[in-house]
């Protein structure tokens, strides 16, 4: 397997690690947006290439043309998906291409008033970021159909994991306990993203799947639980209507839904490593202990 990652960030680095653990020999290459971000990532790739999406990556062509499996983990811009815009010719020239994977978001569904939804739900995104994701999903479906290769689209819930969890925000004093009655969110541990991506790659899974935990929950419950685990007082509860939030923060609360993950578990015959925030946070804290 020759795996190429557009955007070796938090989630895709986890996927690269799980691929490397598999029985199959894997060569991994990928892109970074800035040298600082590249230096922060562990050495999971044999070759790393600079690509910020505004122009073709000057060195990535040969590795992309040699790829058998390509994973896209870069947010689309106002004119479309950067990888497809800047490197379609290299993808066209990838003669051994066998599988494509696109990381999308559950934000494409929009708001369902807290109801349970699955992949059959209509897409009614509530912000421009999610609108772009809907268009990018279709662009990759069209490309995969033209090439005749399987494509899996993974719609990710709120991502957390070591170094990016409620613990970190509590410790640096940036955690908020916002209360909006009836509001729930799904989350997904980065290790589950990595494991499922690797399994999907090995099986060349095709289709569109939600990647979310089993237990959507109010955001304030997670913050309180994380504070309890750390032996800290949780931050004071803030009413959503009067809390000082940025437009970006407020936009996340516009969507309220419970996202089913049954399809991906059935397709791969698995359960999640961390089915809810309690198991996920416990594992993060345990890994921190000397």
Domain containing 82 — which CATH number?
Answer: 3.40.50.720
Tens of pLDDT, residues 180-219:
999 999 999 999 999 999 999 999 999 999 999 999 999 9
SS3 80: strand
Whether residue 41 has pLDDT greater than 80: no
Which pLDDT score is estimated for 35?
Answer: 64
Domain around 50: 2-161+186-215+258-274
190-203 vs 10-21: helix axis angle to the nearest 10? Answer: 50
Say if CB 59 and CB 50 are below 8 A apart. yes
Q: How confident is the model at residue 289 (pLDDT cuts 50, 70, 90)?
A: confident
Helix (H) / strand (E) containing 266: helix 262-268
Q: Is residue 115 part of a domain?
A: yes
What tens digit of pLDDT does each residue of 217-261 get?
A: 999 999 999 999 999 999 999 999 999 889 888 888 999 999 999
Q: What's the pTM value of the predicted model, to 2 decimals?
A: 0.95
Q: What is the pLDDT of residue 43?
A: 66
Does the residue 282 lie in any domain? no
* Rounded Cα–Cα distance for residues 260 and 264 (Å): 9
- Which stretch of DSSP H or E encloses residue 207? strand 207-211
Is 174 exposed, middle or buried (CB count within 10 Å of its CB: 0-12, 13-18, 19+)? exposed
User: How many domains does one find in the chain?
Assistant: 1
* Joined tokens for residue 223: 């913050």
Asked whether residue 235 is assigned to any structural domain, the reply reads no
**Any residues with CB less than 8 A from the CB of 284 and at least 6 apart, and which?**
161, 162, 165, 167
207 domain-assigned = yes
Dihedral through CA 109, CA 102, CA 21, CA 211, nearest 10? Answer: 10
CA distances to 54, 73, 88 from 249, rounded to whole Å, are 26, 22, 34
CB 44, CB 13: distance < 8 Å: yes
Residue 251 counted as domain residue: no
Residue 243 lies in a domain: no
* Nearest residue to 67 via CA among 41, 89, 39, 99: 99
> 3-state DSSP call for residue 55?
coil
| 41 C-beta neighbours (distance < 10 Å), count | 17
pLDDT of 101 > 80? The answer is yes
What distance in Å separates the CA atoms of residue 109 and residue 255, rounded to the nearest whole number? 8
Strand boundaries in the chain, DSSP class E? 2-6, 27-32, 47-50, 69-72, 99-105, 116-117, 151-156, 158-160, 177-179, 187-189, 207-211, 237-239, 258-259
Residue pLDDT, tens place only, 140-152: 999 999 999 999 9
How far apart, in whole angstroms, are the C-alpha atoms of residue 95 and residue 115? Answer: 44
132 assigned to some structural domain: yes
Count CA atoms within 13 Å of residue 65 on its CB side: 8
């Amino acid at each position: 397997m020759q795996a190429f990652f557009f955007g070796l960030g938090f989630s895709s680095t986890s996927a690269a690690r799980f691929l490397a653990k598999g029985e199959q020999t894997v060569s991994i290459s990928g892109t970074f947006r800035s040298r600082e971000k590249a230096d922060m990532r562990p050495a999971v790739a044999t070759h790393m290439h600079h690509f910020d999406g505004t122009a073709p990556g000057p060195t990535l062509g040969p590795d992309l043309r040699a790829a058998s499996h390509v994973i896209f983990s870069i947010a689309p811009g106002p004119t479309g998906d950067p990888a497809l815009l800047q490197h379609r010719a290299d993808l066209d020239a990838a003669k051994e291409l066998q599988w494509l994977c696109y990381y999308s978001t559950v934000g494409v569904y929009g708001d369902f008033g807290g109801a349970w939804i699955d992949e059959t739900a209509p897409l009614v995104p509530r912000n421009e970021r999610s609108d772009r994701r809907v268009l990018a999903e279709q662009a990759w479906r069209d490309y995969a159909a033209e090439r005749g290769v399987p494509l899996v689209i993974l719609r990710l819930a709120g991502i957390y994991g070591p170094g990016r969890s409620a613990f970190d925000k509590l410790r640096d004093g940036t955690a908020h306990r916002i209360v909006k009655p009836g509001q729930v969110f799904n989350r997904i541990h980065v290790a589950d993203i990595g494991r499922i991506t690797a399994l999907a790659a090995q099986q060349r899974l095709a289709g569109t799947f939600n990647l979310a935990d089993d237990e959507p929950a109010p955001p304030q419950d997670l913050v309180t639980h994380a504070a309890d685990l750390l032996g800290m007082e949780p931050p004071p509860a803030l009413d959503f209507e009067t809390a000082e939030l940025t437009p970006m923060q407020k936009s996340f609360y516009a969507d309220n839904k419970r996202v089913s993950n049954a399809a991906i578990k059935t397709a791969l015959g698995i359960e999640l490593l961390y089915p809810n925030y309690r198991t996920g946070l416990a594992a993060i804290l345990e890994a921190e202990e000397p």
